[in-house]
Structure 1
Amino acid sequence: MTTLATTVVLVAGGAVSASAQQAPVTSDDSAVRAALQRVVDSGAPGAFAVIRDHGNPGLDRSLAIGKADLDGTPMNTDWRFRVGSNSKMFASVLVMRLAEQGRIDLDKPLRDYLPEGTLPQSWPITARQVMEHRAGVYDHTNNLLEQSGEETTDAFEKRIRNNVYEPKDLVAMSVKRGPQYAPGGAYAYSNTGYVLLGMAVEHLTGRPYSELLREQIFEPLKLRQTSFTVPEKGIAGPRITGYLTNDDRSKPLLDSTEQTASWIWSAGGVVSSASDLDRFLTALLAGSSGGLVSDDSLRQMASVLPTNTAKISYGLGLREITLSCGKVLGHGGIVQGYQTQTFATPDGKRTVVLFANASNNGAVTQSLTNTLEPAFCSKSTTAPAPRRSLKGNKSSSPFVPAVEDTRI
């Protein structure tokens, strides 16, 4: 594996509405470092922020705190890690490309684009509703992790680390629960929905999902540190060790680096690096000039609707967060041992990739999310301390809601 030495420079060309307020082009480095320190103080071995200002490389920053593993290796912003639900942006790109080709209609029943019997004939859900998490699809991961009554670390060893699931079996777990609400009637984050999208992509093309990612995204963008190798358990090349926090905080962190990721598949199985995530998101927000999706597809992806959380909206595989200095677009991801926030200004001129190598810890999640504010915005204000914060561990940046499920 080779580390990308250059940063792609692309301009969105108006693909995203110019009315979206832009964040300043300077970050508060001392506040970013302090925010990352709070991530480590909350229980992560290490954390980092990679900030890229395209067109003005002199403003680029790579700030790392703590360790890449418990053996004491310093955190490295160039190494690979599991990106979790950032994978949903990749899945959405493949779907939008099929829509551009007329091979899928986002507003017709998704069942028509899936292997027969995948979804009941009575289910009218569309690809657009699924991409927006508004289809009422039960999230199968609740079955595997059993949020109530069982330790997450125990569930990981029993059903996640070594188990290999077929995508159709993940969907079957969800279908048994039936629709959770009328399609389009509410917002409820569902990993199963993005498994369905991956299945649709395979069914319509007759090609394996991993090959489509490689040929349509990884290779054209030269994402040399990005891969989708489910169900292979290891991460090739230099990589950061991921740690699952024990529910019993008196027990040591569990090395969860090796896992099949088949339980999450197209919804969260991508492995990448900060430089590659920057390159990908910059190309995506460039619309037609970025080579991934058309300007019209990008407009649809970035047309967000409110969620149940203040300051958070969601489009087609893209999340929008309102910061004190403007709106940012991207996604977050949590998968056992790793969590990442990948966001950019709507014009794609500035990207921020935040990372911590611990999960199953709400304080780590909240502290990492709060780092978005100083990374994009130059001023700092008093804000609530992260959940489960340590004594005296107060945040100096505006509070940003953590919307990811802290188990995943």
Structure 2
Amino acid sequence: MPAAVAVAVGVMAMGALAPPAAFAAARPDTVQQGLNALVHSDGLPAALASVKDREGRMRHYTAGVGDLATGAKVPKDGQVRIGSNTKTFTAVVVLQLVGEGKVGLDATVDTYLPGLVRGEGIDGRHITVRQLLQHTSGLPNYTKYLGDDVRYYDPRELVDMALQHKAGFDPGTKWEYSNTNYVLAGLIVQKVTGRSLAEEMEQRIIKRIGLRHTYFPARGDATIREPHPQGYYQDSAGAPLRDVTEMDPSWGWAAGQMISTNSDLDRFFTALLAGRLLPAAQLAQMRTTVPAEYFGSGVRYGLGLVSRPLSCGGVYWGHGGSLPGYETRGGATDDGRAANVAVTVQPADEAVMKRVEGVVDTALCR
């Protein structure tokens, strides 16, 4: 999570000059500078970050305006829609079931969802659970075909939408991001446990490690429960910003429905890497990666977990998420640092997106 935040206290005694550390403390914080630039130079409505150091100390940052209509401040560590970070939660539940002997990573989808996955070049008898979690299944991505119909979607409806299209490649021969993989992973969780995916996440992850601001919205819940910045959508560069804070997130389901805060994401990824959520064998499988240049140079994808190189050396592990209204990036290092950043519009400019990711790098490397 966050790189350590140093607080220098200068003491003046008997007319002595304050020690040099005091001057270091007066320098502008580089994370705050990064968020300010995203707002003032790149035109994003708001940016938030939470950074945790090795000792567990957390620092929160905000920039911009939380509500363009009222001018309200950005709530410190406010809740946001975390999009595809949800995939890591889903993958953790699946891998816990693997550790319990209830799911086989190399078992086929048909083992748990017989006959469900069939289409042109698509056969659930030849796609494994591992391939779902690693995006090597070849399944079409249903979100390409959603259109603008924002309403409640049943998970099987999302799968059916994908199966109307041809497979992208033979299972295991290539990597390609597809939200369909994680909807199927969620359905496997429900089939194996007999409980909802939301219940499993609540018991197995959220309560277990004390995530107090994280939840899987119930059916029909279009709101964000706790203090939050408004989320905005822009049709194209220069177009007006439209408030899309309240929306039915069911179209994301196991691939992107959850709500959380930056600090809870810091705690989640730190706990995951520390072995508090998975046995060592399953965590090792989760961290076994393949190249995923879709996310950027040097980026690799494990089982619902992404590794990104740091400018100061090494990597950090996280995921990231993109949903109308919010973009999130961040993760944790093996030595206990963590940082997560959220902005309140999806950047259409790739250069702006790289600057969002750059703030994470700054926080973890400073």
After TM superposition, the score normalised by the length of structure 1 is 0.78
SS in 1 for 2:230: coil
Are 1:112 and 2:121 matched, yes or no?
A: no
Q: Does 1:358 align with 2:345?
A: yes
In structure 2, how many angstroms separate the alpha carbons of the residues matched to 1:242 and 1:364? 17
The aligned runs of 1:310-389 (5 Å cut-off) are 310-325=297-312, 326-347=314-335, 349-359=336-346, 361-362=348-349, 363-378=351-366
Unaligned runs of 5+ in 2: 7-26
- Give the 5 Å matches for 1:196-207: 196-207=184-195
Residue 122 (structure 1) shift: 3.2
CA-to-aligned-CA distance 1:353-392 (integer Å, 9 cap, x gap): 11101115225423211212211123xxxxxxxxxxxxxx
For the residue of structure 1 that corresponds to 2:167, the secondary structure is coil
For residue 229 of structure 2, what is the aligned residue in structure 1?
240
| Structure 1 residue 230 displacement after superposition | 4.1
SS of the residue corresponding to residue 61 of structure 1 reads: strand
Distance 1:316 1:55 in 2: 28
SS at match of 2:188: helix
- In the TM superposition, 1:34-49 aligns within 5 A as 34-40=33-39, 41-49=41-49
Structure-1 separation of matches of 2:51 and 2:3: 13
Residue 237 of structure 1 deviates from its aligned partner by 2.2
Which position in structure 2 is the counterpart of 1:97? 96
For the 8 Å contact 1:49–1:62, the answer to whether it is kept is yes
Call closer, same or farther: CA 1:139–1:76 in 2, change over 3 Å.
Answer: same
Please point out which of 255, 263, 284 is paired with 1:299: 284
Indicate the larger mover: 100-109 or 366-375.
Answer: 366-375
Q: Quick one: distance in 2 between partners of 1:126 and 1:367?
A: 36
Residue 137 of structure 1 corresponds to which residue in structure 2? 139
Please say if residues 80 and 261 of structure 2, whose CA atoms lie closer than 8 Å, have aligned partners that are also in contact: yes
Aligned-partner SS, 2:62: strand
- What RMSD over aligned residues (CA atoms) do the two structures have, in Å? 2.1
Q: Which residue in 1 is equivalent to 2:61? A: 63
Structure 2 residue aligned with 1:183? 171
Closer, same or farther in 2 for the Cα pair 1:194/1:223, shift >3 Å? Answer: same
Give a deviation string over 1:100-138, Cα, whole Å, max 9, x none: 111111112112112542446834111111111111111
CA shift for structure 1 position 274: 1.7
TM-score by length of 2: 0.86
Post-superposition offset of 1:78 = 2.3
User: What code does the residue aligned with 1:54 have?
Assistant: R
Identity of aligned residues (%): 35
Structure 1 alignment gaps of length 5 or more: 1-6, 8-22, 146-154, 379-408
* Whole-angstrom distance in 2 between the partners of 1:137 and 1:49: 34
Q: Separation in 2 of the partners of 1:183 and 1:319?
A: 20
Residue 350 of structure 1 deviates from its aligned partner by: 0.3
What is the distance in 1 between the residues matched to 2:352 and 2:358? 10
Determine the structure 2 residue equivalent to 1:51: 51
The count of residues paired between Structure 1 and Structure 2 equals: 336
Matched position secondary structure for 1:165: coil
**Residue deviations 1:262-303 (CA, integer Å, cap 9, x gap):** 11111000001122112211111111xx1x111111111111
Q: Shift of the alpha carbon at 1:173?
A: 1.2
Maintained 8 Å contact 1:235/1:258: yes
Which string of whole-angstrom CA distances, capped at 9 and with x for unpartnered residues, describes residues 15-64 of structure 1? xxxxxxxx97569964322322232132321102211013263xx43222
| Separation of aligned partners in 1, 2:61 and 2:82 | 19
Q: Cα distance, 1:330 vs. partner? A: 0.6
